């Protein structure tokens, strides 16, 4: 008897892959594009050289042809805000023209676009003018940008994401320009969460007015928190992490409510994060069509006594296991490693079952359809004789997709799955030393080399999965993709 999860995926399931503008396009100063907060990091970060990245801006036709060959049903990409409004206020028509071309080529190849409106890259001019997302002024500027995207591309695009990982950008402030001098980091975090929630609500409302047939939703990054032990204090720490890191921002975006435990915790520390009733009512009046979430790993949380030293989270900078900085938030939780799970070289636990848990928790809490908009394995891929035998990536993706299918069999509506990433991109924290793509890009951090594209073993594997409408997940052997 066949297992029930081996049934084919829904006919309209969006088999996809994703990228982000600043990580893949390059051409950071071409055709009127302005400087984004990501471009501004070029001069102080060894990895964030956005001048060329994967040169998708000049090679998008070649790249879309590869997407077609791969069999993608959908491609998730972001619009670079600074191509449309270089300084945040001045319209740049050549930027709009580029995305017109990209969208047209995608549709000619029967690939459905999913547009991310914001993926960490607002204009540096707005950061300098009023500290970006820390200011209410950002809402109107973002709304202007979103309206231009809706009016320009909405006749052909039916799926939009508002803000990518609004919860993680407050956890890692340097991703979006940093904390202004003289402002406490927690004050900044909750102000940015508030501004993003209001912007999210107003953008969704505008989309409904201009594009009633479109679907739109927010995006979070979700790392399910497990307790380090079954000690009640550790169980509470895991609950605290989930509520502080994921459910506080997502409750705001989807329910128009502030998590009371988080509000109470910071009130006891002298920080009043309560929003005015009219703002909560405005946010709560707009329901998204779906929740998009990005999943790579799970977390472990342990008790963190009040007298502990605070430690802000940070990335593993060099891909040597043991270099990850775990957070410690006294009175909330402290992070730790998981002895029951393997890790990649950057200390991210590999946890396929965690994806199933994430799907069930999110759907149970919010009762909204889900889209998995990023999931993938970062690794040091080796190009040998024109081939890349990334069997470790196939193993990672296959196990995650099976667990996603189990969640769907358990009643969770998942609309689509977007592997991160379609091609090798400039990793946010580790440049080209950490690769994710189905397509290898021939370059290194300090050497552009040929920028030629090579299909990895995982390309052919995913091609087979899509062609079989998912049934190949239960029948294929890795060895056949060497």
Active site residues: 165, 374
Query: Are residues 286 and 201 in contact, defined by beta-carbon separation less than 8 angstroms?
Result: yes
φ, ψ dihedrals at 30, nearest 5°: -95, 145
Query: Are residues 92 and 7 in contact, defined by beta-carbon separation less than 8 angstroms?
Result: no
| Cβ-proximal residues to 55 (8 Å cutoff; 6+ apart), any chain | 25, 26, 27, 451
Query: Are residues 60 and 96 in contact, defined by beta-carbon separation less than 8 angstroms?
Result: no
Cα–Cα distance measured from residue 140 to residue 198, given in angstroms and rounded to the nearest whole number:
10
Cα–Cα distance measured from residue 42 to residue 48, given in angstroms and rounded to the nearest whole number:
5
Helix (H, G, I), strand (E, B) or coil at 81: helix
Helix (H) or strand (E) holding 453: strand 453-455
Helix (H, G, I), strand (E, B) or coil at 11: coil
Cα–Cα distance measured from residue 416 to residue 466, given in angstroms and rounded to the nearest whole number:
12
Cα–Cα distance measured from residue 75 to residue 224, given in angstroms and rounded to the nearest whole number:
26
Helix (H, G, I), strand (E, B) or coil at 216: strand
C-alpha distances in Å from residue 412, one per residue of 83, 253, 326, 356, 407: 37, 20, 31, 9, 6
Cα–Cα distance measured from residue 167 to residue 313, given in angstroms and rounded to the nearest whole number:
13
Cα–Cα distance measured from residue 291 to residue 281, given in angstroms and rounded to the nearest whole number:
20
φ, ψ dihedrals at 89, nearest 5°: -130, -20
Closest CA to 238 of 296, 302, 298, 297: 302
Q: Provide DSSP, 373-420.
A: EE----B----BTTB---HHHHHHHHHHHHHHHHHHHTT--EEEEEEE
């Amino acid at each position: 008897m066949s297992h029930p999860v081996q049934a084919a995926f829904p006919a309209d399931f969006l088999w996809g892959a994703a990228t982000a503008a600043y990580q893949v396009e390059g051409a950071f100063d071409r055709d009127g594009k302005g400087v984004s907060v990501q471009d501004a990091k070029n001069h102080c970060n060894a990895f964030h050289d956005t001048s060329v990245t994967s040169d998708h801006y000049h090679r998008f036709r070649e790249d879309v042809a590869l997407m077609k060959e791969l069999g993608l049903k959908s491609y998730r990409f972001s619009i670079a805000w600074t191509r449309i409004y270089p300084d945040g206020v001045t319209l740049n028509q050549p930027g709009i023209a580029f995305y017109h071309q990209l969208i047209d080529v995608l549709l000619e190849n029967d690939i459905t676009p999913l547009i991310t409106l914001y993926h960490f890259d607002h204009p540096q001019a707005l950061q300098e003018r009023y500290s970006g997302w820390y200011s209410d002024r950002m809402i109107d500027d973002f709304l202007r940008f979103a309206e231009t995207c809706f009016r320009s591309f909405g006749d052909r695009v039916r799926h939009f994401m508002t803000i990518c990982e609004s919860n993680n950008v407050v956890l890692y402030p340097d991703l979006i320009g940093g904390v202004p001098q003289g402002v406490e980091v927690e004050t900044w975090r909750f102000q940015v969460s508030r501004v993003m929630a209001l912007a999210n609500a107003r953008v969704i409302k505008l989309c409904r007015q201009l594009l009633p047939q479109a679907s739109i939703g927010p995006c979070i990054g979700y790392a399910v928190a497990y307790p380090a032990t079954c000690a009640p204090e550790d169980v509470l720490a895991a609950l605290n992490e989930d509520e502080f890191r994921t459910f506080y921002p997502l409750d705001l975006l989807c329910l128009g409510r502030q998590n009371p435990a988080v509000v109470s915790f910071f009130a006891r520390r002298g920080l009043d994060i309560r929003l005015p009733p009219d703002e909560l009512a405005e946010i709560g009046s707009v329901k998204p069509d779906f929740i998009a979430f990005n999943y790579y790993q799970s977390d472990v949380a342990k008790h963190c006594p009040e007298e502990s030293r605070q430690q802000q989270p940070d990335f593993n900078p060099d891909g040597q296991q043991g270099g990850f900085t775990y957070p410690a938030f006294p009175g909330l939780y402290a992070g730790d490693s998981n002895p029951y799970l393997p890790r990649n070289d950057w200390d991210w636990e590999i946890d396929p079952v965690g994806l199933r848990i994430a799907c069930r928790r999110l759907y149970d809490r919010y009762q909204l359809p889900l889209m998995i908009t990023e999931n993938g394995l970062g690794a040091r891929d080796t190009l040998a004789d024109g081939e890349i035998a990334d069997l470790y990536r196939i193993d990672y993706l296959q196990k995650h997709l099976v667990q996603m299918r189990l969640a769907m069999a358990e009643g969770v509506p998942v609309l689509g799955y977007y592997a991160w990433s379609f091609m090798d991109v400039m990793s946010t924290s580790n440049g080209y030393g950490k690769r994710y793509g189905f397509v290898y890009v021939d370059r290194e951090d300090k050497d552009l080399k040929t920028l030629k594209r090579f299909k990895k073993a995982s390309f052919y594997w995913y091609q087979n999965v899509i062609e079989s409408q998912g049934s190949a997940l239960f029948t294929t052997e890795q060895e056949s993709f060497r």
